[in-house]
Amino acid sequence: MKLENTNQRQTTARPAGGALAGGRLKRKSQIVVFIISLIVWILVTLPFNISSLIVGIIAAFITALFAGEILFITERRFHFNRVWYTIIYLIKFFWEMAKANFNVAYIVIHPLLPIKPGIVKVKTKLKQDSALTMLANSITLTPGTLTVDIDVPNQILYIHWIYVKATDIEATTREIGGRFEKMLEVIFTHSPKDENENH
């Protein structure tokens, strides 16, 4: 009987530990989402001012509160290269967004309106929903390209391109998705150590 009671105590203790770990994971994810959202807000709303910062803090808090838990699904070890590649990704994203804005502005003011719109396929190596969502949003937020659909099983994004430079899937992948994919792959992909710890 004592053995059965011990097993029962151990069995009932496990869900509590799992719930505690899940709570820590959720809070960690929300904090990271809050920080990233606030940084993105500040960069988008430059030049900096106090009123804009206050609105940004409120918006980042709401985003973290309702969508913060989707960033991290499993416990992971801390890896500096993920943080480093996140910084590089943000710099790259805003650089591509700035270039695309100038390109779209040129098209708009050009008297001949040089556009060649069409929908192309972009193949990706990313598999996680969060990584695919980030790639799709990065493409959409870059003027001139818009993600219209994602074929998750086949890892293909359908992109509306304001000026189609190529229709070959390898060329379109390199031109559109290749700008962000390598960085997102490092940020979102599990390392072997992470996989071993989760098992």
Same domain as 170, residue 122: yes
**Per-residue pLDDT, 13:** 45
Q: What is the pLDDT of residues 28-47, one digit of tens each?
A: 778 877 888 888 788 777 78
Is this prediction's pTM over 0.75? Answer: no
Same domain as 123, residue 53: no
Same domain as 159, residue 93: yes
Per the structure, the count of domains in the chain is 2
Same domain as 84, residue 61: no
**DSSP calls for 90-128:** HHHHHHHHHHHHHHHHHHHHSTT---B-EEEEEE----S
**Per-residue pLDDT, 4:** 46
Same domain as 105, residue 42: no
**Per-residue pLDDT, 154:** 92
Q: What is the pLDDT of residues 41-85, one digit of tens each?
A: 887 777 878 888 899 899 888 888 876 665 554 444 556 677 788
User: In sequence order, what are the residues at sequence separation of 6 or more whose Cβ sits closer than 8 angstroms to the Cβ of residue 186?
Assistant: 81, 82, 85
Q: What percent of the chain has pLDDT over 90?
A: 24
Confidence of residue 7 (pLDDT cuts 50, 70, 90): very low
Look at residue 23 and tell me whether its pLDDT is greater than 60. Answer: yes
Same domain as 191, residue 107: yes
**Per-residue pLDDT, 29:** 74
**Per-residue pLDDT, 15:** 47
Which token pair is 32?
Answer: 């990271």
Which domain covers residue 61, as residue numbers?
Answer: 1-72
Q: Quick one: average pLDDT of 102-129?
A: 90
Cis peptide before 153 (omega within 30 of 0): no
